[in-house]
Amino acid sequence: MVPLYMAFLIGGLLCLLGQLIMDLTRASITPGHILVGYISGGAVLSGLGLYEPLVKIGGAGATIPLSGFGHLLTQGTLKAVEQKGLLGAFSGGVEAAAAGITAAVVFGYLAAVLFNPKG
């Protein structure tokens, strides 16, 4: 099991990097840009085999940031390609991330129905 302080450290550092990107680059960087950047960046690093070591050290500190979601998509795809070939490239990612995606959409919908924006 990964020690808790490592999850804190790696997770904190990944968020710190995001903060540096937001504050030091163009002012038009929005949360949407950060999320897109992290998921794509995580997926690419994972494809190069660079993200798995981070997960080994950081545990949830590496999987909970959105780059971890990208990692999950890539690893799912790669595994499915080994098993099913070409079809796996299209089915593997979503299969691996299905729980997260569905949870996000369904909980998102429920929260929107149950609550009102307070401002």
Partner 1 sequence: MNTPDPKRWKKIEVEEYENLVQQTKPKPPLLKHCIWAFIVGGLICLLAQLIMNYLLNQGIGKVDASSYTSVIMIFLGAFLTGIGIYDELGKKAGAGSIVPITGFANAIVASAMEFKREGYIFGVGARIFTVAGPTLLFGFVVAVLIGLIKVFLSS
Partner 2 sequence: MPAKKKRGAQTLVFDKPPVITSWASIAGPKEGQGPWGQDFDWSMEDYLFGEESWEKAENKMLRETVKKALNKRNFDEADAEILMAGDLLNQLVSSNYAARELGIPFLGLYGACSTMAEALLLAAILVDGEFFERVIAAACSHHYTAERQFRFPTEQGVQKTPSSQWTATAAGAVLLEPVGTGPRITAVSIGKVIDMDQKDISDMGSAMAPAAAHTIKTHFNDLNRSSDYYDLIVTGDLGKVGMAITRELFIKDGLQPEPNYSDCGVLLYDDFQEVNAGGSGCGCSACILCGPLLKKMTAGEINKLLFVATGALMSPITSFQGESIPAIAHAVAIEN
Q: Point out which residues bind partner 2 (CB under 8 A).
A: 22, 27-28, 30-31, 117-119
Considering only residues 50 through 109, tell me which ones interact with partner 1, judged by CB under 8 A: 58-61, 63-70, 73-74, 76-78, 80-81, 85-86, 88-90, 92-94, 97, 99-101, 103-105, 107-109
Task: Give the nearest distance from C-beta 88 to partner 2 in angstroms.
Answer: 35
Give long-range contacts, CB 8 A cutoff, 24+ apart: 33-37.
35/66
Tell whether residue 28 is a contact of partner 1 (CB under 8 A): no
Residue 28, binding choice from partner 1, partner 2, none, Cβ under 5 to 8 Å by partner class = partner 2
Residue type, 112: A
Check if the beta carbon of residue 49 is closer than 8 Å to that of residue 71.
Answer: no
Residue 88, classed as helix, strand or coil, is: helix
